[in-house]
Chains A and B, each alone.
Chain A
Amino acid sequence: MSLSPVEGAARAEMEPAADPVKPDEQGIVGRSPGQLAWARLRRDRTAMVSGVVLVLFVVLALAAPLISKLYGVGPNEQFQQLLDGNGMPLGYVGGITGDHWFGLEPRLGRDIFIRMIYGMRTSLFIAFAAALVTTAIGVAAGILAGFLGGIVDTVISWITDVALALPFLIFALAVVPTVGLRFYGPREEVPPAFQVTVLIGIFAAFGWTSTARLVRGQVISLREREFVEAARASGAGLGHMLFRQLLPNLWAPILVAFSLAVPSYITGEAALSFLGIGILEPTADFGRMIFQSIPYLQTDPAYVFFPGVTIFILVLAFNLLGDALRDALDPKSSR
């Protein structure tokens, strides 16, 4: 559904280009726009809280093997003896005990807490990598199209239009299994690293367009400014023009688009899992966990609750941070 961060991109686009010159606050210390934005961000309590939450999630995900050691349970360990005859966890609230903080999965009896930690690792890695790749492609395409104009602009904009007109989910459904088959054949197991690469690739192929549009719009408004003309007059080359003159003026909208792209890829990956083309078992994956838990909504609500609430908090924190970032980077913002 909302794969591309259209919303964030468009909103960032609506903000006029930030005017980096701001009178010094006390008239004594000169501060760079970056420092000002950071100071503003520091004062924003929501931003700080969501930032801390995100750092916590990232640390948990990075430290997954360590946590697993301390916790004493591996991600693929099964506790069948703690399940009843129907495969449902024994005890209350999905089998929560001192050993299994969030209970056990029905049927397989794996520990939910440690699966979530490992699953977060997969999901966050995919989301960050996809966001990085799409932002890089989008910025490059957008800056070229906007600055060069003419035929380059027409071609790039047209490619964007074509990419936007292709239905992402249907293509993903068709491509992901085919690529796996092509490289590994029907009987071989597709290694997780390969699945992850394919997912990042497909996100990159479809996701760069919104960033490209956003950057293109910004560049078009910047390219007639005096500083660009000055650079051109002093004989600056194309590379210098694009990356030394224009790019520094674009980092605010790019940063905002990036911070809003990450959660959209987390949910996008979950949506692909929902259609059965995400990361395959037994690799722990957040998206798949949620979709697998939904049939147990009535019989084992705790199983649905923990992953569902965690992904909600994760995405919410990203969205809040993205908003705060936009406010902090916008010199006109009153907050």
Chain B
Amino acid sequence: MTRFLVRRLLTAVLTLFAVSVLSFLMFFGLPRDPVSGMCPKNCNAERLERVREELGLRDPLPEQYANYMKGIVTGRDLGSSQGGRCDAPCLGYSYVNSEAVTDTLTRVLPVTLSIVIPAAVLWLVLGVGLGMVSALRRGTLLDRLAIGFSLAGASMQLYFVGAVLLLIFTYNLRITPTPGYTSIFDNPVKWASGLVLAWVCLAFLFSAIYARLSRAQMLETLSEDFVRTARAKGVPKRKVYGRHALRAAITPIVTIAGLDVGSALGGTVITETTFGIQGLGRTAVDAVRSGDLPTIMATVLISAVFIVVANIVVDLLYAAIDPRVRLR
């Protein structure tokens, strides 16, 4: 177990290293002037030179990279126009937002978390529940409805559903307020009402996929010998389905859920754009559009971290669910 964890963490670090090098090369190494988008107002040639100097763009790429990484681990001193000392997880300074990137991230990260976590709970419960029920009641009206729901949901576009929901609930019926983010600690009701459309939208589309998946998986499992054996031994139906079959059927779903949640945490770009909520995804998009390199790097890195961590969590969950899996 410990050996597995150590090895897994080492590969994770290696993966993150590759991601950071790749994105660093992509964004800083591309033959275009990365400064043009970073110049504060009242740009002139002299100012541009100073920005270049302070960002260290004159240094060779490996040195720039090393400095960047050093900033994340120990913090580093940035030029006076970049706010001077930048503490430990230092991700650089954004001229576009006129603030340290770390500050931007601590502001937008809770937004994305607030969108994704409730939505993920909703879509997992709804999707897996629906899939299981329709597998157990195969061929009934309920099953047909569930299949229809999941097929429709899986073929729809997030921004399309989002726009329709917005039109109906916010503009016509005026049930929900204009989507936006309030901290849950300030006002939980406002937090929920501002994000509910985004949750519903994400949950609808994703639960459709999970319902399809878990229905197929459950049907497959129910036809296995061990289920029949358990029934023949006289184990009550509920226990067979809930314990034995569910456990076997859910393993592959965990893999996919882990990846989905991981990549969603790295920024729900389309959702945030549709509903006009400023989370991680939208920040990344804005950064790319304005050529704000430090912010782009930071968002790419943080979403990679989420995905890598999600992968490790999935492996651990696998071992917890399936006793045959030994972590070595």
Contacts and interface: CB of A to CB of B under 8 A. Distances in A.
Contacts of A15: 220
Contacts of A171: 23, 26, 300
Contact of A170 (B213, B268, B270, B288): B288
A86 interface: no
Contact of B304 (A1, A158, A166, A274): A166
A244 B127 CA distance: 40
B11 interface: yes
Interface string A141-159: 0000000000000000010
A271 B270 contact: yes
Residue from B27, B163, B216 with most neighbouring chain A CB atoms (10 Å): B163
A213 to B, nearest CB: 10
Contacts of B300: 166-167, 170-171
A294 interface: yes
Given A13-B252, A164-B259, A7 B167 contact: no
Contacts of A320: 151
A221 interface: no
A174 interface: yes
A319 B157 contact: no
A7 B267 CA distance: 20
Interface string B271-306: 001000000010011001100000010011001100
A201 B274 CA distance: 26
A117 interface: no
B213 A167 contact: no
A271 B285 CA distance: 13
Contact of B284 (A7, A166, A170, A271): A170
Nearest to B212: A7
Interface residues of A, number: 44
Interface in B190-239: 205, 209, 212-213, 216-217, 220
A245 to B, nearest CB: 27
B157 A311 contact: yes
Q: For the complex, would chain A's binding face be called helix, strand, loop or mixed by DSSP majority?
A: helix
B263 A167 contact: yes
Given A170-B269, A271-B270, A316-B155, A161 B32 contact: no
Nearest to A308: B160
A116 to B, nearest CB: 15
Contacts of B23: 166, 171
B164 interface: yes
A270 interface: yes
Interface in B234-273: 252, 255-256, 259-260, 263, 266-270, 273
Contact of B19 (A11, A13, A166, A319): A166
Given A7-B209, A10-B256, A174 B154 contact: no
Interface of A: 1-2, 6-7, 10-11, 13-15, 158, 161-162, 164-167, 169-171, 173-175, 178, 181-182, 263, 267, 270-271, 274-275, 290-291, 294, 297-298, 304, 308, 311-312, 315-316, 319-320
Q: Which 3 A-B pairs have the closest CB atoms?
A: A316-B155, A315-B155, A165-B304
